[in-house]
């Protein structure tokens, strides 16, 4: 599977509806996006803890209401033609993506509080998208909480680079996760084989070059996360055509 990292973020500003539309157009199988919560309990699609890098605002996101950030320009930093892009609500993103593509929702640190999980699960139910969603996080404990209340929702641990010496399968089974996500630098034949024996797909990030993709394929991963879904999908197709 080709997973578009924060949408087609090599072609459009990350975590915007524009990036999600492009990912669909470029043939991605899944979109990865980041979820955080504003101070007034609105779930939004945004990666950083602060606003400065990808908007014309400043300050900590968790201290802002949605009305304070909803009008910010989150596209001009990438290219002036995206000046009309804004921080989307999770509901708006799911409404766009429903029935079009699978979605990997990464829970960021500010979204690990107990108050966030009911909002997230309620949003998934409201859009009837539970069967098409994978929830992932570096914070493995929150995934167990999700499984406790919504066992049918698929989850994946993200293996922290500093924990690369640990068995990802052990970490995943501890919180009843269904899959493993790790860096391209962490994967190996032995880790992927171990995951395969235990029925756990492995997804690697961030695969932006043919060389990185070749390594992922040699190791037998199930999915690759990329900023350039069109190029990676094309390269995979060429490999399949050559094999056939």
**Catalytic residue positions?**
5, 47
Residues 6+ apart with CB under 8 A from 183: 159, 161, 164, 204, 205
Residue 46: both structure tokens together: 């945004």
- In order, the DSSP letters of 163-191 are GTTS-HHHHHHHTT-SEEEEETTT--HHH
CA dihedral sign, ordered 152, 222, 159, 112:
negative
Query: 112 vs 36, 98, 120, CA distance in Å?
Result: 9, 24, 11
Question: How many angstroms separate the CA atoms of 210 and 100, rounded?
Answer: 27
Contacts of residues 57-64 at CB distance under 8 Å and 24 or more positions apart, as own/partner, are: 61/36, 61/110, 62/36, 62/37, 62/38, 62/110, 63/39, 64/38, 64/39
In the three-class reduction of DSSP (H, G, I as helix; E, B as strand; rest coil), residue 32 is classed as strand
């Amino acid at each position: 599977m080709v997973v578009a990292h924060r949408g087609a973020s090599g072609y459009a500003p990350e975590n915007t509806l524009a990036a999600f539309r492009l990912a669909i157009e470029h043939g991605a199988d899944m979109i990865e996006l980041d979820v955080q919560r504003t101070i007034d309990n609105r779930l939004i699609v945004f990666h950083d803890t602060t606003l400065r890098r990808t908007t014309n605002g400043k300050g900590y996101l968790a201290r802002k209401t949605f009305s304070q950030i909803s009008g910010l320009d989150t596209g001009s930093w990438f290219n002036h033609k995206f000046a009309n892009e804004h921080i989307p609500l999770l509901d708006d993103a799911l409404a766009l993506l429903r029935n079009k593509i699978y979605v990997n929702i990464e829970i960021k640190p500010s979204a690990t509080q107990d108050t966030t999980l009911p909002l997230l699960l309620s949003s998934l139910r409201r859009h009837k998208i539970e069967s098409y969603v994978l929830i992932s996080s570096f914070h493995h404990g929150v995934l167990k909480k999700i499984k406790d209340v919504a066992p049918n929702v698929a989850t994946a641990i993200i293996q922290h680079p500093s924990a690369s010496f640990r068995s990802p399968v052990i970490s995943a089974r501890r919180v009843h996760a269904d899959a493993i996500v790790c860096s391209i630098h962490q994967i190996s034949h032995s880790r992927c084989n171990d995951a395969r024996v235990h029925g756990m797909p492995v997804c690697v990030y961030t695969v932006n070059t043919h060389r990185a993709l070749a390594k992922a394929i040699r190791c037998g991963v199930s999915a690759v996360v990329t900023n350039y879904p069109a190029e990676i999908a094309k390269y995979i197709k060429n490999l399949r055509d050559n094999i056939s």
